Structure 1
Amino acid sequence: MKTRNPVDLLDAVRYFADPNICRQFLAEARWPNGVTCPRKGCGSKENWFIQTRAIWRCKKCLKQFSVKVGSIFEDSPLGLDKWLPAVWLLTAATKGYSSHRLAKALSVTQKTAWFMLHRIRLAMRAGSFETPLSGEVEGDTTGVGGKEKNKHRSKRLHRGTGNTGKAIVFGLLSRHGQVRAKSVPSERAETLQAIIRRNVESGAIVYTDQAAGFRGLDRDYAHQVINHAEEYVRGNVHTNSIEGFWSQFKRTIYGTHHFVMPWQLDRYLDNATFRFNNRNIPDGERFALACAQTDGKRLTWNQLTGKED
């Protein structure tokens, strides 16, 4: 009998109270075509299940493995009865979920909850995009960080305006479609336009503001510019959709997490883009999709804290 997707949080907590259901659900999500050995270089589907230990043994490499091995859950002492509701909470929360709230909800330490959430965000990361964005695409940058005027006088950067002293994030949004976003080292043309050319089909209509980093796009695209010093909308020319995404993302950072390290910003972007790109499907399907993406992804504590590349 196949497992099902829970319909809400209460249903998820009750449904995943049974460890056998947890194991079967995750196995079906990770291996929809049958249990596959996750050991590197193996990948065999020839195995048998050891009922007394709730693990499999591969007939090819003779290694034993649980449903956690080769996923974000590997080496975690926590049971899936806590992990799966945590995945549900993060995939369903529009403005993210803080480690302090998760720690109280699951009766774990804040440090453990923080590690769990970053592992789940890794599962939400999209792989390489095979299909470039097409049609009407909006591009924009934004700064994430505190205002210069709120910093101590000795720490203020007394130069420039706008995104000075902030982490820079660049995003592309296909109208009525997907969004792709990542942190960038600068707003220079060579940085931004290289990302646009990798992710947007040549000949597409690209809407941006009047920033210098977007000058020259008209050689490959139907580039339309909106001057925010004069107007915000001119017919179909605007960047309101991508700015709406930035608004929601910043509510996640400032309202839920309050502060994130710049070198971890992409993990929070992965979370925001995953929810946005799957916004039109039910919570249960979005949760199942995140569980399916846990396969082959691993994040250690040393990697997360920068002690290991």
Structure 2
Amino acid sequence: MGINVVQFQHGLSMNEFIQRYGTEAKCYRALYQWRWPQGFRCPKCEGRARSRFRRGTTVYYQCRACRHQTTLTSGTLLASTRLPLTTWFQAIYLLTATKTNMAALELMRHLGVNYKAAWRLKHKIMQAMLEREEPRKLKGFVQIDDAYLGGERNGGKPGRGSENKQPFLIAVQTDENLEYPVFAVIEPVKAFDNASLRDWIERRLEPECEVYTDGLACFRQLEEAGHAHTTLVTGGGRAATQAKGACWANVVLANAKRAISGVYHAVRQAKYARRYLAEAAYRFNRRFRLRDMLPRLATALTRCKPCPERVLRLANNFHG
């Protein structure tokens, strides 16, 4: 059996991480380069000339054109943080270097912060992952499947329609021979109905895809949207998950659900499923570039707007 190149690739080792980002000054220089790769840009007028001064321990930059004052983290997801940059970099490293996910409770123990701080770190980083995955559209050959996140409540309704289950769609773009997965989209939907599917198709599929699904009635919307649609009649059991047009959707789905249920145990899927599923998609779509995940995710944090805890907790699982 050949070696799995994804699983056996060399990521960023702990020693390399410490050498590159082991001090506050090293983290500051790296983040400065990622936020302003062509040099300082005023967030208000795009001016390049600036002066630099300190207020307490914080470094401020003042634009010489419009006199707007900013800091390295202001206007980003790291805005108003009281944690050192080394803690942020450690959190990003832990959440991207591990083969499986990491819960906020375990992150708390690794970083030496309290649980609320670890929760904010975790959810802000997942918010950056979500925003990076939001515009992704799949093209060519796409396998789609429906699934649920969560289990049954005692005395509640079992199966589809359970009060404790969040429906979501998983779609995997493959090569033209349906042999290798390329990208994945994993996103909650309000229901498996025609309106939800029409909205999802418009946002997530490029025109004229060739799509493979099971016989769920709402998937007929794919044909109405102009996509070539193959309905797979596979029956139940293991054979259904191994069918050529459904294999990769089922593999990615199983891995995502196993990671969520095995690591988090309890997820408030009614509020936060969109972030947790986006985390799974983000990691999958960058699986060939483990060494680049930390700088790419840190750069994403600098390009996302501030999201304080009260906004994080007002999460909405649905687009718009």
TM > 0.5:
yes
Residue 13 of structure 1 is aligned with which of 15, 18, 42?
18
1:174 corresponding residue in structure 2: 173
What amino acid sits opposite 1:105 in the alignment? H
Matches within 5 A, 1:1-309: 7-38=12-43, 41-50=44-53, 54-125=59-130, 126=132, 129=135, 132-146=137-151, 148=152, 151-153=153-155, 156-157=156-157, 161-162=159-160, 164-165=162-163, 166-175=165-174, 176-219=181-224, 220-229=226-235, 231-232=239-240, 236=244, 238-261=245-268, 262-281=270-289, 283-294=290-301, 295-306=303-314
State how far apart, in whole Å, the 1-side matches of 2:168 and 2:242 are.
Answer: 25
State how far apart, in whole Å, the 2-side matches of 1:124 and 1:307 are.
Answer: 14
Cα deviation for residue 135 of structure 1 reads 1.6
What amino acid sits opposite 2:154 in the alignment? H
State how far apart, in whole Å, the 2-side matches of 1:26 and 1:196 are.
Answer: 36
State how far apart, in whole Å, the 2-side matches of 1:27 and 1:248 are.
Answer: 36
Classify the secondary structure of the residue corresponding to 2:66. coil
Cα deviation for residue 128 of structure 1 reads 5.2
Classify the secondary structure of the residue corresponding to 1:177. strand
Which residues of structure 2 form unaligned runs of 5+?
1-10, 175-180
Which residues of structure 1 form unaligned runs of 5+?
1-5
Cα deviation for residue 124 of structure 1 reads 1.5
Aligned residues: 292
Cα deviation for residue 257 of structure 1 reads 1.1
What amino acid sits opposite 1:93 in the alignment? T
Cα deviation for residue 234 of structure 1 reads 8.4
Classify the secondary structure of the residue corresponding to 1:169. strand
Taking only aligned residues, the RMSD between alpha carbons, in angstroms, comes to: 2.5
Classify the secondary structure of the residue corresponding to 2:240. coil
State how far apart, in whole Å, the 2-side matches of 1:10 and 1:269 are.
Answer: 30
Summarize the Cα distance change of 1:307–1:218 in structure 2 as closer, same or farther, 3 Å threshold: closer
What amino acid sits opposite 1:202 in the alignment? P
TM-score normalised to the size of structure 1?
A: 0.85
Summarize the Cα distance change of 1:123–1:213 in structure 2 as closer, same or farther, 3 Å threshold: same
What amino acid sits opposite 1:174 in the alignment? Q
Cα deviation for residue 240 of structure 1 reads 1.9
What is the percentage of aligned positions where both structures have the same residue? 24
State how far apart, in whole Å, the 2-side matches of 1:202 and 1:14 are.
Answer: 46
Cα deviation for residue 218 of structure 1 reads 3.1
What amino acid sits opposite 2:305 in the alignment? K
Cα deviation for residue 259 of structure 1 reads 1.5
Cα deviation for residue 87 of structure 1 reads 0.7
TM-score normalised to the size of structure 2?
A: 0.83
Cα deviation for residue 210 of structure 1 reads 0.8
1:3 corresponding residue in structure 2: none
What amino acid sits opposite 1:168 in the alignment? P
